[in-house]
């Protein structure tokens, strides 16, 4: 094994820059793509100015709800004169002033003249933002009305421990957070809950990384084509180990090296995107690496020239992206033919599956290839 490692290092020296590029390609391009997407999203968000004339909890909560929207970029403005100037010069699409006494007015059930707004004829985002604010005000007003109803009911029933207004509001927020009513799926008795048969590479950074990782694995494994065509291959006839064993040793060497890079990527994602560390993630990460290396190795065995290999690599990546639903919507196809989503070898890393059908298929084909090579070698001797 030491001789094989030394031989492989000799080959790598001649292609050091190429190998280094494809080694850092997955994490580098994942970071560039996600950073660029985030930058474009921030720049395309509608700039909306917000002025808080009171620092009440309801006023701050209203501003935070606006800021949580992906389509709005909330900019805090110091005073009304500055907001009007920024809207007039189109630095802001529109501006909204949360008036003094907003919380008291909402608690009293008032819904008019709570927020002052400024806009121009070119304020494209004014209407949806105004409607969003109106819905938030109505939501807070409804909670306040509910709180007063509960308090009045407690007084009517002569209840000894009537909760305060703030306690009732806090309990409402607690129930909303714990129940998550907006995103809860309800089913009737006897119905099966809908399962997510779709596949998205953008569910987390690992999905995008898996595409770049598969592509880099293909280009790093072009050594297989070169080794098969090398004139030195004839020497294995008189060697103590077979050519198949030599290729498998290199497969193991590359798999270990790529997995080390995967661990470094894991640490980088933890820093950049707050990805957590847990043993199950380690399990499906190593399973994904083993699966991809075996499949790429088996595909490389079918080629004798590099150009057809590279063309096939690009085609495989394109097909993988297409069935992942990035270019064309695949929801309807997944509903009719759920098995198509399982053809995607990248599904394993996104859905955090410890194994996939491709893992067993690759292992079986690899064993068949090795046994067949040993049989031919024995027959030749």
CATH of the domain at 115: 3.40.190.10
Would you say residue 109 lies in a domain?
A: yes
Choose the weakest-confidence range: 51-60, 198-207, 243-252. 198-207
Kindly state whether residues 28 and 97 are assigned to the same domain.
no
Select from 158, 183, 208 the last residue of a domain: 183
Split at pLDDT 50, 70, 90, the class of 197 is very low
Kindly state whether residues 171 and 119 are assigned to the same domain.
yes
Kindly state whether residues 276 and 367 are assigned to the same domain.
yes
Q: Which two tokens stand for residue 41?
A: 């999203």
If one counts every other C-beta atom within 10 angstroms of the C-beta of residue 105, the result is 19
80-126 pLDDT, tens digit per residue, is: 889 889 999 988 999 998 888 888 887 777 767 788 888 888 888 88
The whole-number average pLDDT for the span 183-187 is 50
If one counts every other C-beta atom within 10 angstroms of the C-beta of residue 2, the result is 6
Kindly state whether residues 222 and 146 are assigned to the same domain.
no
Cβ-contact 368, 296 below 8 angstroms: no
Split at pLDDT 50, 70, 90, the class of 193 is very low
User: Any bridge partners for residue 117, and if so which?
Assistant: 96
146-171 pLDDT, tens digit per residue, is: 877 877 777 777 766 777 777 777 77
Kindly state whether residues 26 and 127 are assigned to the same domain.
no
On average, the pLDDT of the chain sits at 80
Kindly state whether residues 52 and 163 are assigned to the same domain.
yes
**Residue 295 lies in domain:** 2-36+199-380
Would you say residue 191 lies in a domain?
A: no
Q: Work out how many domains the chain is built from and give that number.
A: 2
Kindly state whether residues 25 and 50 are assigned to the same domain.
no
Residue 346 confidence (pLDDT): 80
pTM (global) more than 0.75: no
Kindly state whether residues 28 and 71 are assigned to the same domain.
no
Token pair 């660029």 is found at 36
Cβ-contact 239, 315 below 8 angstroms: no
Map residue 324 onto helix, strand or coil: coil
Share of the chain above pLDDT 90, in %: 18
Q: Which two tokens stand for residue 24?
A: 């850092």
Distance CA 151, CA 107 (A): 13
Select from 183, 208, 236 the last residue of a domain: 183
The whole-number average pLDDT for the span 369-379 is 69
Three-point CA angle 334, 337, 340, nearest 5°: 75
Cβ-contact 343, 323 below 8 angstroms: yes
Cβ-contact 295, 362 below 8 angstroms: yes
Kindly state whether residues 157 and 241 are assigned to the same domain.
no
Q: Which of 281, 288, 283 is nearest to 266 (CA)?
A: 281
Residue 131 confidence (pLDDT): 87
The whole-number average pLDDT for the span 180-198 is 50
The whole-number average pLDDT for the span 263-287 is 86
Distance CA 86, CA 93 (A): 9
Residue 196 confidence (pLDDT): 47
Distance CA 358, CA 279 (A): 22
More confident residue, 16 or 25: 25
Would you say residue 280 lies in a domain?
A: yes
Split at pLDDT 50, 70, 90, the class of 200 is low
Would you say residue 192 lies in a domain?
A: no
Map residue 100 onto helix, strand or coil: coil
Choose the weakest-confidence range: 12-16, 321-325, 374-378. 374-378
Cβ-contact 114, 134 below 8 angstroms: no
Q: Which of 177, 150, 145 is nearest to 164 (CA)?
A: 150
More confident residue, 204 or 188: 204
Of 139-153, 167-181, 188-202, highest mean pLDDT: 139-153
Q: Is the pLDDT of residue 379 over 60?
A: no
Q: Which of 205, 199, 208, 222 is nearest to 313 (CA)?
A: 222
Three-point CA angle 359, 364, 368, nearest 5°: 150
Would you say residue 130 lies in a domain?
A: yes
Select from 153, 183, 213 the last residue of a domain: 183
Would you say residue 217 lies in a domain?
A: yes
Kindly state whether residues 117 and 259 are assigned to the same domain.
no
**H-type alpha helices, the chain:** 2-14, 16-44, 57-67, 80-88, 102-107, 126-156, 165-179, 205-220, 223-229, 243-273, 279-301, 306-323, 331-336, 347-350, 357-380
The whole-number average pLDDT for the span 208-234 is 83
Kindly state whether residues 259 and 344 are assigned to the same domain.
yes
Residue 356 confidence (pLDDT): 79
More confident residue, 156 or 135: 135
Would you say residue 97 lies in a domain?
A: yes
Would you say residue 189 lies in a domain?
A: no
The whole-number average pLDDT for the span 191-207 is 59
Of 106-115, 246-255, 256-265, highest mean pLDDT: 256-265
Residue 216 confidence (pLDDT): 95
More confident residue, 332 or 317: 317
Q: Which of 314, 310, 322, 315 is nearest to 346 (CA)?
A: 322
The whole-number average pLDDT for the span 127-132 is 86
The whole-number average pLDDT for the span 124-150 is 82
The whole-number average pLDDT for the span 315-327 is 81
Q: Which residues contact 370 (CB under 8 A, 6 or more apart)?
A: 244, 248
Kindly state whether residues 162 and 222 are assigned to the same domain.
no
44, 96, 115, 349 from 99: Cα distances, Å: 28, 9, 6, 50
Split at pLDDT 50, 70, 90, the class of 238 is low
């Amino acid at each position: 094994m030491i001789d094989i490692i030394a031989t492989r290092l000799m080959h790598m020296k001649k292609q050091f820059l190429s190998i280094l590029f494809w080694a850092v390609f997955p994490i580098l391009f994942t970071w560039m793509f996600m950073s660029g997407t985030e930058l474009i999203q921030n720049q395309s968000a509608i700039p909306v100015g917000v002025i808080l004339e009171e620092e009440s909890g309801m006023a701050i909560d209203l501003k935070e709800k606006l800021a949580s929207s992906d389509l709005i970029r909330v900019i805090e403005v110091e005073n009304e004169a500055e907001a009007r100037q920024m809207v007039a010069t189109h630095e802001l699409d529109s501006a909204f002033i949360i008036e003094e006494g907003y919380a008291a007015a909402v608690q009293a059930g008032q819904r008019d003249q709570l927020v002052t707004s400024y806009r121009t004829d070119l304020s494209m985002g004014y209407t949806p933002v105004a409607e969003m604010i109106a819905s938030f005000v109505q939501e807070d007003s409804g909670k306040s009305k509910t709180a007063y109803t509960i308090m009045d009911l407690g007084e009517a029933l002569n209840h000894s421990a009537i909760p305060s207004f703030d306690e009732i509001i806090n309990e409402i927020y607690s129930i909303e957070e714990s129940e998550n009513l907006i995103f809860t799926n309800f089913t009737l008795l006897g119905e099966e809950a809908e399962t997510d048969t779709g596949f998205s590479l953008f569910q987390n950074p690992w999905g995008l990384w898996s595409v770049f990782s598969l592509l880099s694995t293909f280009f790093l494994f072009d050594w297989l084509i070169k080794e098969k065509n090398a004139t030195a291959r004839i020497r294995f006839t008189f060697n103590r180990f077979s050519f198949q064993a030599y290729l498998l040793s290199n497969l193991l060497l590359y798999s270990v090296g790529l997995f080390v890079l995967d661990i470094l990527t894991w640490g980088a994602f933890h820093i950049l995107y707050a990805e957590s560390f847990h043993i199950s993630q380690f399990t499906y990460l190593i399973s994904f690496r083993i699966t991809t290396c075996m499949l790429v190795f088996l595909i490389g065995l079918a080629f004798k020239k590099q150009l057809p290999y590279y063309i096939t690599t690009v085609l495989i990546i394109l097909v993988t992206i297409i069935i992942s639903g990035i270019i064309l919507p695949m929801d309807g196809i997944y509903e009719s033919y759920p098995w198509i989503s399982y053809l995607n070898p990248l599904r394993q890393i996104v859905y955090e599956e410890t194994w996939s059908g491709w893992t067993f298929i690759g292992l079986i084909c690899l064993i068949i290839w090795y046994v067949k090579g040993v049989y031919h070698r024995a027959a030749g001797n």
